[in-house]
Chains A and B, each alone.
Chain A
């Protein structure tokens, strides 16, 4: 066969899984060179959703960046909000009250649940398990109901402020959380029965995109993809921020790094996040949610309307922006996809000098060509989905 093949004139087919394609959610282009159905080469092109986040941040005040951060990882916006606010607070050198920290943890974990639900649902959808998708979309709707109760919006939450939060927990939040989590656990079990032991699903995702741990570290994987490869790195445990050191939760670690491990890690993290939210709701102290420093965080509207110093600070911080002292800082939080880092440079004025986001899915998308060499084109589907590239975050 080999010597016959030498005489046959065959070409590799170049196929373009272009920016608008059902599987490339997040607008990414794959230029796939195929030999039959085997992938010989895969080139990834991103940048279709580049909106100039950093340039826009440099053009507004420090507080005006927060709505932009919603749109980075738009399936878990509260984590972006919290990360940025924490980074600015580290730059200023202030610490928020206890109640604010607990509510921020609740917000982060709710967002993380929504992110993982979306990702596993999309995985099921792309592989043809339409029913699993719709069950998890129902679960996500319930979690979004909670987020809407909290912040007023489902996706573009704009909830966290530098030095505090926009508003406190609404009435009836803990009862609603209990009901929602009961239903989400039922749906989780349903999807677990549908997919985890399903021979067809396992055949599609097991042993696809295997990556040894040291190569994963060299490619700077973080988050569930890294933990699926067996590396126990989670920013919430390694360098705890907010009140994660008081929470009792486990971080699931995988074995081989294939898509099945990534799926299992994400499914387990949904349950662990629900545990964290329940513990936070129990331990929630009472108290203020905003720090009492009017040059960084406004006082209440009553004060602004009646006291002259509050009014002056409010005016100055809105017009000029808050003024962190000059310096630079890097802070990492655990996003839905991995380590979400904020690198902020301040020159003492009200506008950021540099506001850099370290996107967790940027190196993951870069690794696609390494993962996909030699596999079939049908393997792009579960791999790219389990990497969970979010266009808003990768391209900014």
Chain B
């Protein structure tokens, strides 16, 4: 009982630290530096503490300080309650979605079985999608409550885009669910122990569609019309400043991490190294005794998982800095006339292959 509690607490603290403490600031740095590398320039490198500019990492700290000390205003005539609440509604689902993503398998440590996932829900995938739908509210409320035509347009576009791509995203996943036969993310992750049972080989089309829908859901380029910088100044968060503004941005970055986590779990073998089974890992670490082997195997798997997550974060950033953005009607057409039919065909083909 106590052990369970400690285990849960440890996992929550770990994920919280990794997400909010590590990924959120570091992703800001990654965006700056990766874009600088692609664009043949240096990027931000001025923030220093005592003369040490750690290749620009302190900029995240500087951002945090700046944001906390900025004036926090609400435009005149705006709906104060919704205006303040909107960033929270946008941020919380992004953090909460990570609670069902497994970052490791099952290990026996000190006689206690540890599942490296905060909440092993039976309907794991559905939970993530439900939270994604909730974050739509944040965006629409932000657009509506700012009492500005530009924010309204951003909110309108966002609502249409996010709703459409949620539908499409759900359909693209059905293939994977059919193949692995379960909605539990831990089971899907565990089933990918064999390298050739990785989701990418079983559902290549599903992978591409899911990645597209997830990037669209997250409102990143090339689908970032709700916040299209050159058309709508800043879209639905034009009238935000200070901490609330940063909450929207953090929500976006954390959703990048969540998407990468989902893609890794569903398609890229979750926490498994290719061609290495769990038993091989435990045998490898036999020298540290059964507990030590368990702990070391745990660490290796966590590192693998986060390594894959980092790869997908890099991929999404690279896509962001290469492609221009779509027009609104083209995004809608892409979703309803292209992704939806292809995903339905995908389901059909998967079903046929499973039957045969």
Contact A128 to B233, CB < 8 A, known contacts A15-B153, A138-B40, A203-B330 = no
Q: Which of A80-133 contact B (CB under 8 A)?
A: 124-131
A204 engages B153 (CB within 8 Å)? no
**Which residues on the A side are within 8 Å of B326 (C-beta)?**
200, 203-204
> Contact flags (1/0) for B2-43 with A, using CB distance below 8 Å?
000000000000000000000000000000000100111100
Which residue of chain A has the shortest Cβ distance to B221 in the bound complex? Answer: A128
Choose from B38, B150, B330 the contact partner of A15 (Cβ within 8 Å). Answer: B150
Choose from A15, A21, A128 the contact partner of B323 (Cβ within 8 Å). Answer: A128
A381 engages B230 (CB within 8 Å)? yes
What's the least CB distance linking A122 to chain B, in Å? 9
Q: Could you list 5 further interchain pairs (A-B, Cβ under 8 angstroms) beyond the known A127-B230, A134-B40, A135-B40?
A: A126-B230, A200-B222, A378-B228, A378-B328, A380-B231
**Which residues on the A side are within 8 Å of B283 (C-beta)?**
none
Contact A378 to B324, CB < 8 A, known contacts A15-B150, A134-B41, A203-B330 = no
What's the least CB distance linking A152 to chain B, in Å? 27
- Cβ of A23 within 8 Å of any chain B Cβ, yes or no, is yes
> Bound state CA distance, A214 and B70, in angstroms?
55
Contact A22 to B233, CB < 8 A, known contacts A134-B40, A134-B41, A135-B40 = yes
What's the least CB distance linking A194 to chain B, in Å? 7
Interface residue tally on A, bucketed by range? 20 to 34
> Bound state CA distance, A174 and B227, in angstroms?
46
B327 engages A376 (CB within 8 Å)? yes
Count, A-B residue pairs, CB within 8 A? 80
Interface residue tally on B, bucketed by range? 20 to 34
Q: Which of B199-222 contact A (CB under 8 A)?
A: 221-222
- Cβ of B108 within 8 Å of any chain A Cβ, yes or no, is no
A128 engages B39 (CB within 8 Å)? no
Provide the main secondary structure of the chain A interface. helix
> Bound state CA distance, A300 and B294, in angstroms?
89
> Bound state CA distance, A194 and B328, in angstroms?
22
Q: Which of A1-46 contact B (CB under 8 A)?
A: 13, 15-16, 21-23, 37
Contact A21 to B39, CB < 8 A, known contacts A204-B327, A376-B327, A376-B329 = no
- Cβ of B256 within 8 Å of any chain A Cβ, yes or no, is no
- Cβ of A201 within 8 Å of any chain B Cβ, yes or no, is yes
> Bound state CA distance, A381 and B38, in angstroms?
24
- Cβ of B322 within 8 Å of any chain A Cβ, yes or no, is yes
- Cβ of B321 within 8 Å of any chain A Cβ, yes or no, is yes
A198 engages B324 (CB within 8 Å)? yes
Residue of A22, A124, A195, A378 contacting most chain B CB atoms (<10 Å): A378
Contact A22 to B229, CB < 8 A, known contacts A128-B221, A134-B39 = yes
